[in-house]
Amino acid sequence: MNRISWDQYFMAQSHLLALRSTCTRLAVGATIVREKRMIAGGYNGSITGGDHCIDTGCYVIEGHCVRTIHAEMNAILQCAKFGVPTEGAEIYVTHFPCLQCCKAIIQAGIRSVFYSADYKNHPYAVELFQQAGVKVRQVEHKQPDYSRNGEKDELLADLLNRLKELADDESELSELTKRADRLISGT
């Protein structure tokens, strides 16, 4: 079994965090990492105890939901709340950070930004990251296969081969093979 890379591991954590998002426009997750250890995580949502977009709708002003705190900001604030330093850390984000989050990331002393998907990549954010010497790199997010389908496919093929050896009824074997193929292909 091959292990996923550290980048894939931390990006998967950010995608998992995004599942907690209460934003109806875009679910984002962020994980702050130092020395290959997760030190904080965040997702975009409302302030603690506040109304959530999934419950009452977005509060949009000039094209932006002002109710939502971005995932990157929530992760940085979590570090501040619990006294965890961010200097020299890395952040893994499901989407390219907005301009405001870019500035917060730089000010927090985070040295590397890894993101999965482009999202309105602001040219000034790109420029600021470059000026501050923050390394920015896109990391492909590969959806992990938790189902162990490869092992299932192999077992099914072995069972069908054994059935071919033992089968008396060719039509029954043909029907079982068709059912197995549909199961494997997901149709």
Residues with active-site annotation: 72
Longest dimension (CA), the chain: 74
Residues 6+ apart with CB under 8 A from 184: 153, 156
Q: Three-state SS string across the chain, please?
A: CCCCCHHHHHHHHHHHHHCCCCCCCCCCEEEEEECCEEEEEEECECCCCCCCHHHHCCCEECCEECCCECHHHHHHHHHHHHCCCCCCCEEEEEECCCHHHHHHHHHCCCCEEEEEECCCCCHHHHHHHHHHCCEEEECCCCCCCCCCHHHHHHHHHHHHHHHHHHCCCHHHHHHHHHHHHHHHHCC
Neighbours of 11 (CB within 10 A): 24
